Structure 1
Amino acid sequence: MNDLRHLLALARPWRLRMALGIALSVVVILSNVTLLALSGWFIASMALAGVGALTLEFFTPAAAIRGLAVLRTFARYLERLVTHDATLRLLSVLRVWFYQRLEPLAPARLQGFRDGDVLARLRTDIDSLDNFYLRILAPAIAGMISSIAILCVLFWFSPGVAVIDGVMLLLAGVIVPLVVASRTRASGHAVTGLRASIQAASTDLIRGLGELQVAGAVARQSRHLSLLSQKLIAAQRQQAWIGASGSALSALAGQLGMFCAFILLVSAGHAGAIAGNDIVMLLFAVLASTEAVAALPTAFAALGVTREAARRIFSMAELTPAVVLPSRSATPASFDLTFAAVTMRYAPEQPVVLDSLSFRVAQGQCLALLGPSGAGKTTILNLIQGFWDCDQGDVLIGDTPVRALSDEVLRQSISVVGQKTYLFNASIRDNLRLVAPDADDGTLWQALSQAALAEEVRAFPQGLDTLVGELGARLSGGQARRISIARAFLSHAPIVLLDEPTEGLDAANTEMVLKALKELVKGKTTLLVTHQIQPLILADSRLVLEG
């Protein structure tokens, strides 16, 4: 329940809107109960008036019935409008809030999560939280308020009927929903976990389709995905059956309550303690009062999913970043790079990756980092970017430790060209403007020209508006790499990190990329990580790391 309280705290800015939605729900329930009870009384009174048993003033109850019908319809419309608006506002803010919590965690604290699982939390789990206010909290509170109001009116007419209706509402609106919630807790957790597993398996199948085809494992991955889907359907079917059973039990409780009230009222009517038209009114009121709690069994069947989704979201959001950078800092006076006796390990139980490493790269110089895989080259790049912090020693830009620089200053000071260029499924223009949102087309063309890509982009029918496809699938590896270089030109960052910039490229693309990189690194502090010989022409010096 702590996670749900945390969710309520995030919803505090919309508490008045949410309260208004609950109030409108109460109006809808009470107007419906009153409408049915008054209609029953009016019909019975008309029948009695027809045989001369009583006199009836026709216009007031007829006008009240019409007014209640209009009120119920209008209140229902406003209730749906307000409650859905509050829910959508909460989800939109929650998604942004969650993303803001994820950003400082990347990449260090998110390495233990699969991409599909993170995506499931950001999308599916947050979407599941629409149940909390819309289907659980609002109906439960509105049902409680309405039930109290109904019981008070019934008690004024007949304490016995009020007791019967109270027992019925307690059974249908409290006991049955709690039993349903208890019975669906395990399946709710299973549904949430299986949704995440399906998201992860689908991501693996789509992104790794080429590798799976080469390995002949597409069928096996498809069967795994199918098995997960069958398990999800089974868990959802179990929830649906339990929810439906709860609704049936609640309806049965309502019918039993009406039957008991009928016996009591008929006995009272024979004794002359209550008029016949009032008997019909009270019976209809008892029958209609079940509306106050009718939706709760099905709603509480979704409580397990909602609680597990909230737990998954807040458990990730509450992780502590590996490095907490200050919110503000000054820009370093110079941009030389210094490692001063740096010792680094990724976890206390893991071996040391860097052991008292010291070196310095003067501003405007390029240092090539060489060594076998696992020697710590990528770790050095991660430390410079502030993704990790070292256990001992200092990593400095100029005279300022990296941990003392704000995220904004650090990102503006460093550009990265790696072997994996992430491109969004958008136009070339949009992908370039990630680093320079205000850049005009002339500036973009200049950056493409510096990256030796302008002529190829001009040859595309749509030029800068060309869509690059998912992960840049419509571009060659060399073209994607040169878009990364064009981004680096646009960023004007004084520090450049080159992580295997020519890995996987043919000779022609390697030549074009190296030509562009020669221009990029001029006058900039550069670290080059490579296993190849060709990029070493960029380096002024070399540092060999031992594995």
Structure 2
Amino acid sequence: MHNFVRLLKLCKPHAGMLLLGAFLASLTVLANVGLLAISGWFLAAMAAAGIAGVQMNYFTPAGVIRFLAIVRTASRYGERMITHNATFLLLSEIRVKMFATLSRLNNVDLAMSRSADLVNRLQNDVDALDKFYLNVLLPIIVALFTIPIVMAFMAAYNADVALLCFISLMVIGVLLPALLSRKLHKEAHVETQLSAELRAELADTLKGARELAVYQAQNAQLTHCDSLSQQYNAQLYSRHKAVANSNGLSTLVIQLTMLASVFMIIPLVSLGTMKNVELAMLALFVLASFETVLTLPTAFIELPLTLSAAERLFVLEDNHSKANTQQNEIDNQSALGLTLSNVSYQYAGSTRKALNDINVSVCAASKVALVGASGSGKTTLVNLLTGLWPLQSGSLKLTTDEHSFELESMTPSARFKQLTIVAQQHHIFDGTLRENLLYAAPDATDEMLIQACEQAELSSWLNNLKAGLNTRLGIAGRKLSHGQSRRIAIAQAILRRGNLVILDEPTESLDNHTKYHLLNTLETVWADKTMLTITHDPAMLSRVDKVIWLEQGKIRAVATHAELLANEADYVELITRF
């Protein structure tokens, strides 16, 4: 029910159009019911007049029938146009809102989610919500509006027939949907999960086709996908079977109700308390009245699926809302210090801590290197600084001459305003070189972009490009070497001008000549910035002020590169091995 209310709130901006569509849909149903009832009376009256050889005024009922036919056609056209337009507007708003939520999620939930699953939420789960208004909400509104009107007119002719019809309407419109909804509620969640998992597995199968071929694991993976497909098809079969059974039972109830109403009216006609022509009218009136609830069983079958899809989307939104914290603005400082106090972190399911009671201070404008074997906690520490992982214990502070700021109290936008990050895995978008650079600095001029490329040792490559900054880089930078991709990331970092620079193996895949010039440039460009670098490159270690050596989540030593070379044989082996 909570998710149903939240979906209703999403409809609020378009409430006027949605209600107008519901009114036109109700008008269509009422016109249909009136048309069938009056047509039954008209045909029966014409036949009776012909048998009796008397004249009757057929102009008035014929005019009413034509009027109702025009109203039905016009209202149906208007209803389809308005409701579908409102649905598309609603879907567009939901899709943009969900994409905005995904783009702002910088936490463990986003990082640990499969990309295929996130795409499935953004596309298929949102598409599932297109049924909420048309197939769920609209039938409910129409039933609530039209049933009292239809019952009032029917009761004016015969209260017993109206009561019988009302009971049957409740069976089809309330009892049957309630039973179906209860039965399909758990199955709907399973179906949604299986659909998402199947799409994710198929995406992974295509993405990892090369690795599957190398390890000859295609058959096992395809068997797994086929198993998921069979489970998903079984859920679809169960739902479609329920729909078919519901339609069949509804038809049976309708026919039995109409037959029972005829048997109730026949004695009244024979006694003369009701005209014979009204028998046909009431029978068709009863038949037509079920149009008010005929789509309700399907609505309640679709409702669990819609709510299940909505729940998956709202989970992401809720995770983001929990991440909203106080905005802290830091004055324009040339550099920031960094203080870590009693910082610990343990991954779920792990028996040991990735970081264990880390205490260290980094002075403003200093250059610090993080070294350590794989699994020592370097990447975990960087992820805590960037906010990718939530801080579990301890504190992380940015410090200035006068103030200190808890990183956890800062919003992602405020945090990333101060940080400049060159990650080891850097994504290149399918666009031009200019577009990729402008992600880092949207207001940068071409001169600034070219200067950043020169500082990142890309000038000779850029000068040889026929299209220059307009050169397309391909999907995920397929037209680039790994070294060129790294230097584009560095160029973006130079454009960012953050106060705390975090580099993850910045010299990887670079030749010695390029690396030497790049390091000289970075020392100049970021001379007044605080720089934290993950590296095992002796050429870069020799340039930093101090080295923080991590081992199994703890700080083993904090010293200069020269001191560690002179006193720690394990350190020499570590940087030599890498």
TM-score if structure 2 supplies the norm length? Answer: 0.86
Report the number of matched residues: 546
> Does residue 1:379 correspond to 2:380, yes or no?
yes
The equivalent of 2:442 in structure 1 is 437
Secondary structure (helix, strand or coil) at the match of 1:318 reads: helix
Distance in 2 (CA, whole Å) between partners of 1:343 and 1:491 is 28
Query: How far 1:15 moved relative to its partner?
Result: 2.9
Query: How far 1:173 moved relative to its partner?
Result: 1.6
Distance in 2 (CA, whole Å) between partners of 1:70 and 1:461 is 65
Alignment of 1:318-397 (within 5 A): 318-319=318-319, 324-331=324-331, 333-346=333-346, 351=353, 353-363=355-365, 365-387=366-388, 388-389=390-391, 391-397=393-399
CA shift in 2, pair 1:518/1:483, >3 Å: same
The equivalent of 1:400 in structure 2 is 404
Query: How far 1:194 moved relative to its partner?
Result: 0.7
1:332/1:397 contact within 8 Å kept: no
> Structure 2: which amino acid aligns with 1:266?
I
Distance in 1 (CA, whole Å) between partners of 2:485 and 2:149 is 67
The equivalent of 2:315 in structure 1 is 315
The equivalent of 1:65 in structure 2 is 65
Query: How far 1:77 moved relative to its partner?
Result: 2.1
Query: How far 1:506 moved relative to its partner?
Result: 6.5
Query: How far 1:472 moved relative to its partner?
Result: 2.7
Deviates more, 1:9-18 or 1:315-324: 315-324
The equivalent of 1:33 in structure 2 is 33
> Does residue 1:471 correspond to 2:476, yes or no?
yes
> Structure 2: which amino acid aligns with 1:495?
L
Deviates more, 1:449-458 or 1:58-67: 449-458
Secondary structure (helix, strand or coil) at the match of 1:325 reads: coil
> Does residue 1:428 correspond to 2:433, yes or no?
yes
Deviates more, 1:464-473 or 1:453-462: 453-462
> Structure 1: which amino acid aligns with 2:92?
S
Distance in 2 (CA, whole Å) between partners of 1:460 and 1:421 is 22
Distance in 1 (CA, whole Å) between partners of 2:30 and 2:175 is 22
Distance in 1 (CA, whole Å) between partners of 2:416 and 2:188 is 41
Query: How far 1:517 moved relative to its partner?
Result: 4.5
The equivalent of 1:491 in structure 2 is 496
The equivalent of 2:576 in structure 1 is none
1:342/1:395 contact within 8 Å kept: no
Q: Structure 2 regions of 5+ residues with no counterpart?
A: 553-578
Secondary structure (helix, strand or coil) at the match of 1:327 reads: coil
> Structure 2: which amino acid aligns with 1:445?
I
Secondary structure (helix, strand or coil) at the match of 2:243 reads: helix
2:455/2:518 contact within 8 Å kept: no
2:354/2:377 contact within 8 Å kept: no
Alignment of 1:278-317 (within 5 A): 278-317=278-317
The equivalent of 1:258 in structure 2 is 258
Pairing partner for 1:451 from 456, 481, 488: 456
Secondary structure (helix, strand or coil) at the match of 2:551 reads: coil
Query: How far 1:189 moved relative to its partner?
Result: 1.7
Query: How far 1:497 moved relative to its partner?
Result: 1.0
Alignment of 1:165-204 (within 5 A): 165-204=165-204
Provide the alpha-carbon RMSD of the alignment: 2.9
Query: How far 1:38 moved relative to its partner?
Result: 1.7
% identity of equivalent residues: 33
For residues 472-529 of structure 1, the C-alpha deviation after alignment (integer angstroms, 9 at most, x for no partner) is 3343222222221221122222322101223456768766865765565343221110
For residues 166-222 of structure 1, the C-alpha deviation after alignment (integer angstroms, 9 at most, x for no partner) is 122122222222222233233322210111112321332233334333323233223
Distance in 2 (CA, whole Å) between partners of 1:68 and 1:95 is 39
Secondary structure (helix, strand or coil) at the match of 2:319 reads: coil
> Does residue 1:95 correspond to 2:87, yes or no?
no
1:375/1:546 contact within 8 Å kept: yes
The equivalent of 1:74 in structure 2 is 74
Deviates more, 1:437-446 or 1:18-27: 437-446
1:192/1:305 contact within 8 Å kept: yes
2:192/2:308 contact within 8 Å kept: yes
Query: How far 1:433 moved relative to its partner?
Result: 2.2
> Structure 2: which amino acid aligns with 1:367?
V
2:336/2:499 contact within 8 Å kept: no
Secondary structure (helix, strand or coil) at the match of 2:368 reads: strand
> Does residue 1:546 correspond to 2:543, yes or no?
no
For residues 382-421 of structure 1, the C-alpha deviation after alignment (integer angstroms, 9 at most, x for no partner) is 3332443362244224233223444333222222112211
CA shift in 2, pair 1:255/1:377, >3 Å: same
The equivalent of 2:106 in structure 1 is 106
Distance in 1 (CA, whole Å) between partners of 2:404 and 2:24 is 58
For residues 85-144 of structure 1, the C-alpha deviation after alignment (integer angstroms, 9 at most, x for no partner) is 333333333334444544554232334433333332232222222222221121022123
Distance in 1 (CA, whole Å) between partners of 2:126 and 2:368 is 45
Secondary structure (helix, strand or coil) at the match of 2:308 reads: helix
Deviates more, 1:319-328 or 1:199-208: 319-328
The equivalent of 1:2 in structure 2 is 2
CA shift in 2, pair 1:284/1:324, >3 Å: closer
Pairing partner for 2:530 from 525, 537, 542: 525
> Does residue 1:409 correspond to 2:414, yes or no?
yes
CA shift in 2, pair 1:406/1:536, >3 Å: same
The equivalent of 2:148 in structure 1 is 148
CA shift in 2, pair 1:72/1:453, >3 Å: farther
Query: How far 1:28 moved relative to its partner?
Result: 1.2
Distance in 1 (CA, whole Å) between partners of 2:216 and 2:210 is 10
> Structure 2: which amino acid aligns with 1:359?
S
Alignment of 1:117-266 (within 5 A): 117-266=117-266
TM-score if structure 1 supplies the norm length? Answer: 0.90
Distance in 1 (CA, whole Å) between partners of 2:316 and 2:256 is 47
Distance in 1 (CA, whole Å) between partners of 2:249 and 2:68 is 29
Distance in 2 (CA, whole Å) between partners of 1:206 and 1:509 is 36
Distance in 2 (CA, whole Å) between partners of 1:175 and 1:205 is 44
2:125/2:313 contact within 8 Å kept: yes
Query: How far 1:283 moved relative to its partner?
Result: 1.6
Distance in 1 (CA, whole Å) between partners of 2:451 and 2:373 is 37
CA shift in 2, pair 1:201/1:465, >3 Å: farther
For residues 130-162 of structure 1, the C-alpha deviation after alignment (integer angstroms, 9 at most, x for no partner) is 222221121022123212211111010111221
Distance in 2 (CA, whole Å) between partners of 1:323 and 1:334 is 28
CA shift in 2, pair 1:414/1:309, >3 Å: same
> Structure 1: which amino acid aligns with 2:234?
A
The equivalent of 2:573 in structure 1 is none
Distance in 1 (CA, whole Å) between partners of 2:525 and 2:413 is 22
Secondary structure (helix, strand or coil) at the match of 2:375 reads: coil
> Does residue 1:13 correspond to 2:17, yes or no?
no
CA shift in 2, pair 1:496/1:213, >3 Å: farther
> Structure 2: which amino acid aligns with 1:541?
K
CA shift in 2, pair 1:320/1:278, >3 Å: same
The equivalent of 2:572 in structure 1 is none
CA shift in 2, pair 1:161/1:113, >3 Å: same
> Structure 2: which amino acid aligns with 1:400?
S
> Structure 2: which amino acid aligns with 1:40?
G
Distance in 1 (CA, whole Å) between partners of 2:317 and 2:123 is 14
Q: Structure 1 regions of 5+ residues with no counterpart?
A: none
Secondary structure (helix, strand or coil) at the match of 1:369 reads: strand
Distance in 2 (CA, whole Å) between partners of 1:513 and 1:211 is 35
Distance in 2 (CA, whole Å) between partners of 1:101 and 1:14 is 21
Distance in 2 (CA, whole Å) between partners of 1:81 and 1:138 is 14
2:369/2:546 contact within 8 Å kept: yes
